[in-house]
A and B are shown apart, each in its own frame.
Chain A
Amino acid sequence: MSAERVLTRGTVVIDTEACKGCDLCIDACRPGVLAMTTVERNSRGYHYPELRAGCTACQACSQICPDFVFQVWKFETPVELEVDAAEVHR
Chain B
Amino acid sequence: MSSSRRLLEGSTAIAESMVSAGCRFFAGYPMTPFTEVLESMARALPPVGGVCMNAESELEAVGMAWGAAATGTRAATGSVGQGLSLMQESLSEICFARLPLVVLNMARGQGDYYQATRGGGHGDYRHLVLAPADLPEAVRLAQLAFHLADRWRNPVLFLGDYYLAHVQEAVDTGPIDFGPSPAKEWALDGSTSGTGRAKLVSPIVPTKRDDPHPVDYGQHLGAMAEHVATMADQVEPMAETGYLEGAELVVVAYGTPARYLRSAVAGLRQEGLPVGFVRPITLWPFPTEVVAQATAHARAVAVFELNTGQMFDDVRLAVLGRCPVTFIGGLSFDASGFGIAPDLDVAVVSERVRRALDEARRASA
Direct contact of A and B (CB under 8 A): no
